[in-house]
Structure 1
């Protein structure tokens, strides 16, 4: 059984009311993660599920944690992941992989779990692994999502997004950096509180860039890419959290092009 979950680009965020939540403004993109789940045929010399990325066995902690929370024999599960976005670079790849996997497992093994319960399993696994706080809620819905995991608002957007990625920023390390998170709390909350009721993606991107600079995350490569987009008449910012630039309002400035994903994760 195959399932897809869109990647997500977080423009701005802030810690939520509890340690396992965040609030923010993020957009789901058409590029994401595909999980192909099946009964493993060879369980010899293996303890736990087999997870591969691009055909190579990989320790993918949030996926393995999620599988461990489901009522099935771990060693009997094989999850083959295909990445359409760079992993560890601000596209929510860990959340997308985890959400796609639990959706596919539920169908493949007839677990009869609700969508809400599967979403919670994926979210808890991400929190425990330190790879994300709210990506799966965006990836579950699609579109532009503003708010927190409880009652986020979804806005339909038909927008082309360009992006370039230069490197990774460890999400776990960023979330554990008290000084950084204090800046994120202050600056992110101010931006989110000031957003209009129906935010335009270009305006959100401008506010996102001011936020990124205020928390002192952009590298020189990121700054140069943003300047190139602005020189071409577009708007760009930095994905949270990764050394990745996303842009709207330009064509052919950054190396990759995608669209807003209108719907959330689905079986394929």
Structure 2
């Protein structure tokens, strides 16, 4: 085999609480979110250069620490010595760094592709766990990978890597659409360095997650995600005004965690109306929609 490719859905978190541990396998978050039909496709193939070549959306990049560490962790985990270098390509149509789980999706899809290229020395869950560990160690994610591993809507009931943490999926209509208004990235490091903000996040996240567990549904998830947006104190004033204006059009919108933008969920019959409402506030931002991914990360090609 000379080439392998895998896909991981993007992921949106509606509410969460942070659970850190000295053991990356046990670190993670509790909360709830959903996977997107859009995501990250990663391919890996051998090449004869003197170092690995990383390409993101057709642009060569030297600054992809998550991908570099996935490769390093893979060979350490399987106990093999590297005999060649790779060309690794990542492609996504999602905005990077804006709360769509693209870092986790890149880690998961690359780990699955590397594993397939070498004849699957790791199980599916072991390859997914490797991606989670890289995300935790680099502080680029906590609960994204476990959600992206299984797809659909999930409630994360116990923190940790896939196979260590625990989640429960809940049902949704197949014509459900996620609609987004995105202005750009939002720095998480500054936000999460504040003990008072972390305390508010954890209190709100734990309370609202328990409420969702008692009666899981898409409608309740959306309402509680908006409540989390308010209670956590994370919502910038600009987004607050948009949320309130959309509410007057009977659209329940919540903040992307973490991105400078909003999301909602609507059936296909209301999609165009909702897109039009979001476009009223677009400015220099981006408005788009996609479906829900039911499958999670998976290998798409090996040859």
Fold match by TM threshold 0.5:
yes
Q: 1:222 to 1:18 in 2, by over 3 A?
A: same
Structure 1 regions of 5+ residues with no counterpart? none
2:32: which partner in 1? 25
Shift of 1:183: 1.1
Q: Which residue of 2 aligns with 1:267?
A: 299
Of 10, 15, 18 in structure 2, the residue corresponding to residue 15 of structure 1 is 18
Match of 2:166 in 1: 151
Of the candidates 230, 239, 248, which is equivalent to residue 222 of structure 1? 239
Distance 2:244 2:48 in 1: 52
Equivalent in the alignment of 2:49? 42
How large is the RMSD of aligned CA atoms in angstroms?
A: 1.9
Partners of 2:222 and 2:289 in 1: CA distance:
16
Mapped to 2, the partners of 1:76 and 1:33 lie a distance apart of 22
1:207 is displaced (CA, Å) by: 1.3
Match of 2:85 in 1: 76
Shift of residue 69 of structure 1? 0.5
Could you tell me whether the CA contact under 8 Å between 1:100 and 1:265 is conserved in 2? yes
Q: Deviations over 1:92-130 (max 9, x none)?
A: 110001000010111113242111111111001001111
**1:125-136 alignment runs, 5 A limit:** 125-136=134-145
Residue 281 (structure 2) aligns with: none
CA distance in 2, matches of 1:142, 1:53: 23
Shift of 1:241: 1.4
Partner of 1:64: 68
Q: Distance in 2 between matches of 1:122 and 1:103?
A: 9
List alignment gaps of at least 5 residues for structure 2: 76-80, 279-286
Alignment of 1:129-208 (within 5 A): 129-147=138-156, 148=158, 149=160, 150-157=165-172, 158=174, 159-208=176-225
Q: Tell me, yes or no, if the aligned pair for 1:156 and 1:262 is still in contact at 8 Å.
A: no
Structure 1 stretch 193-202 or stretch 254-263: which is displaced more? 193-202
Partners of 2:192 and 2:198 in 1: CA distance:
7
User: For residues 100 and 83 of structure 2, what CA distance do their matches in structure 1 show?
Assistant: 27
d(CA) in 1 for partners of 2:83, 2:211:
46
When structure 1 is superposed on structure 2, of 244-253 and 128-137 the one drifting more is: 244-253
Task: Report the counterpart of residue 290 of structure 2 in structure 1.
Answer: 258
- Contact 2:155 2:213 (C-alpha < 8 Å) held by counterparts: no
Contact 1:229–1:247 under 8 Å retained in 2: no
Of 55-64 and 160-169, more deviation after overlay is shown by 55-64
Q: Deviations over 1:15-54 (max 9, x none)?
A: 12636211110100111111011112322xx4xx322111
More displaced stretch, 165-174 vs 76-85: 165-174
In the TM superposition, residue 198 of structure 1 has moved relative to its aligned partner by 4.3
TM-score under structure 1 length normalisation: 0.91
| Partner SS, residue 154 of structure 2 | strand
What TM-score comes out, normalization by structure 2 length? Answer: 0.81
Residue equivalent to 1:107: 116
User: Which SS does the other structure have where 1:86 is aligned?
Assistant: coil
For 1:190 and 1:13, the matched residues in 2 are separated by: 10
Aligned residues: 264
- Deviation >4 Å, runs of 4+: none
Residue 98 of structure 1 aligns with which residue? 107
